[in-house]
Amino acid sequence: GAVVSQHPSWVICKSGTSVKIECRSLDFQATTMFWYRQFPKQSLMLMATSNEGSKATYEQGVEKDKFLINHASLTLSTLTVTSAHPEDSSFYICSARDKQETQYFGPGTRLLVL
Amino acid sequence: GNSVTQMEGPVTLSEEAFLTINCTYTATGYPSLFWYVQYPGEGLQLLLKATKADDKGSNKGFEATYRKETTSFHLEKGSVQVSDSAVYFCALNPSNTGKLIFGQGTTLQVKP
């Protein structure tokens, strides 16, 4: 099946710094990618929909200036957590949708903000 | 609003036991329903899906039937294996936008 990668797989940063997470579809083109956030023992919560060549659409309650999304190409979307704080510590997961509208998920990125 | 509720885990079974993981949903309209599985250290993988009432999704011995009257999509397998140990997520797509709404996940542990 199709493969989606995320980089890095985990990151530790100091409070106030920015962190960029990459999501790549390795063997297919994805006009749409999704970013999710998962807290321990909780479900995945959709943060935003990333569309190639246009602005991302954010879910209610998600700060667009805090979580910057760039879908620069058909195989790459990036999520930048700006001025990270400890409450941003979480597991971030992306998915990419192919032409058959099947979503393939990345393995996730664990962020710890100290 | 739209939501998905799964039975709490962990579910611990012996090999070859029968598995049921309950999933109920609340949605407007006619959502598509999914089961995803996440093996340790890997991303979520689509296990099966159903797009309309009474549809049965099946894959790798797992089955789930879209029950509109009970708003349920319970996952079943007749004989589990140790390799089925994973976290299982029930999800719905309320309007075919691709915006999946997930349940909280159920951890399955199968012991030899």
- pLDDT tens figures, B3-13: 999 988 899 99
Q: Which residues of A touch B99 (CB under 8 A)?
A: 34, 46, 49
User: Predicted confidence band at B43 (pLDDT cuts at 50, 70, 90)?
Assistant: confident
Question: Which chain A residues touch B if contact means CB-CB below 8 Å?
Answer: 1, 4, 6, 32, 34, 36, 41-46, 49, 93, 95, 97, 101-108
Q: How confident is the model at residue A63 (pLDDT cuts 50, 70, 90)?
A: very high
Rounded to whole angstroms, the Cα distance separating B64 from B74 reads: 5
Instruction: Evaluate if residue B97 carries a pLDDT over 80.
Output: no
If interface means Cβ-Cβ distance under 8 Å, which residues of chain B face chain A? 4, 36, 41-46, 89, 96-105
The residues, ordered by sequence, that sit 6+ positions from A5 with a Cβ below 8 Å of its Cβ are A22, A23, A24, A26, A106, A107
Confidence class for position A1, pLDDT limits 50, 70, 90? low
Tokens 């039937």, residue located = B65
In the structure encoding, which two tokens stand for residue A15, read together?
């409070």
The predicted-structure confidence for A8-19, as pLDDT tens digits, reads as follows 999 999 999 999
Cβ distance A50 to A36 under 8 Å? no
Q: What is the pLDDT of residues B62-92, one digit of tens each?
A: 999 999 999 999 999 999 999 999 999 999 9
C-alpha dihedral (B88, B101, A30, A18), degrees to nearest 10: -90
| pLDDT grade for B41, boundaries at 50, 70 and 90 | confident
Cα nearest neighbour of B49 on chain A: A102
Q: What is the pLDDT of residue A51?
A: 87
> For residue A20, what are its two tokens?
């960029």
Alpha-carbon distances of A12 from A39, A79, B94, rounded to whole Å: 16, 16, 35
CB contact under 8 A, B99 and A34: yes
Condensed to tens digits (0 to 9), the pLDDT of residues A69-104 reads: 999 889 999 999 999 999 999 999 999 998 878 889
Strand residue runs (E) in chain B: 3-6, 11-14, 19-21, 23-26, 32-38, 45-50, 56-59, 62-65, 75-77, 86-93, 101-102, 106-111
From first CA to last CA, the distance across chain B in angstroms is: 41
Burial of A87 (C-beta count, 10 Å sphere; 0-12/13-18/19+): exposed
Contacts of A36 in chain B (CB under 8 A): 102
